Amino acid sequence: MGNTVHPMHSSFANADLVECVLRFLPDFQCLASTILTSKTIYNVFQQHPRSVVRSVAYNLVGLALPQALRFVRCQNAQLYSKPVGELLGEDDIQKNPVLSNQDIRSLVAISTSVQELESLFSWRMKDRRFKTSQLSLAESTRFQKAMYRLSLFSAVYGHNGYESAVDPDSDQEEIDSALTEAFSLRKGFFGSFSTPELRDIQRVETFLRGIIARAEGFDFTMIPSATYSPESSFMLYCAPHNVVDVYKGGLDCITEWDFDPTEEIFFHDQFMIGPLKTVLIDRKEPLLLPVNQKQPIIDEIVGEHDRCSQCQSNTAQGLDLWGPSNWSYLWGNQLHHSIAQLLKGRVGANLADRTHFLTVSQETPAEELVGGLFDYKTPAYLTWNKADWLCSQCLEKFIRDHLHIWYLGQKINRGDVIPDNCWYGYNCRTQTHRLAHAQKLNHWCEPIKGDATPTNV
Instruction: Considering only the stretches 21-29, 85-93, 309-317, 339-347, report the one whose residues sit in contact with Zn ion under the rule CB under 5 A.
Output: 309-317
Give the shortest CB-391-to-Zn ion separation in angstroms: 3
Q: Which residues contact 244 (CB under 8 A, 6 or more apart)?
A: 113, 116, 117, 120
Q: Nearest CA to 83 among 194, 200, 183?
A: 183
Give the shortest CB-312-to-Zn ion separation in angstroms: 7
Binding-site size, Zn ion (CB under 5 A) = 10
Nearer to Zn ion, 395 or 403 (CB): 395
Contact between 311 and Zn ion per CB under 5 A: yes
CA 10 distance to own-chain centroid:
51
Give the shortest CB-405-to-Zn ion separation in angstroms: 17
Instruction: Considering only the stretches 113-121, 176-184, 305-313, 337-345, report the one whose residues sit in contact with Zn ion under the rule CB under 5 A.
Output: 305-313
Give the shortest CB-448-to-Zn ion separation in angstroms: 11
CA 372 distance to own-chain centroid:
25
DSSP codes of every residue in 125-144: HT-TT-SS----HHHHHHHH
Question: What is the b/e burial string over 187-226, where b = at least 16 CB atoms within 10 angstroms of the residue's CB?
Answer: bbbbeebeeebbbbbbbbbebbbbbbbbbbbbbbeebbbe
Q: Nearest CA to 273 among 176, 164, 183?
A: 183
Q: Map the footprint of Zn ion across residues 404-423, applying CB under 5 A.
A: 422
Nearer to Zn ion, 187 or 440 (CB): 440
Give the shortest CB-389-to-Zn ion separation in angstroms: 9
Among 297, 391, 399, 408, binds Zn ion (CB under 5 A): 391
Nearer to Zn ion, 118 or 320 (CB): 320
Nearer to Zn ion, 211 or 391 (CB): 391
Task: Give the burial class of 312: count Cβ atoms within 10 A of its Cβ; 0-12 exposed, 13-18 middle, 19 or more buried.
Answer: exposed
User: Is the N-terminal amide bond of 261 cis, ω within 30° of 0?
Assistant: no
The values of phi and psi at residue 117, to 5°, are -65, -35
Contact between 321 and Zn ion per CB under 5 A: no
Contact between 178 and Zn ion per CB under 5 A: no
- Positive or negative: CA dihedral 28, 31, 37, 39: negative
Nearer to Zn ion, 319 or 391 (CB): 391
Instruction: Considering only the stretches 31-39, 202-210, 308-316, 370-378, report the one whose residues sit in contact with Zn ion under the rule CB under 5 A.
Output: 308-316
> Which residues make up the interface to Zn ion (CB under 5 A)?
308, 310-311, 391, 394, 422, 424, 428, 430-431
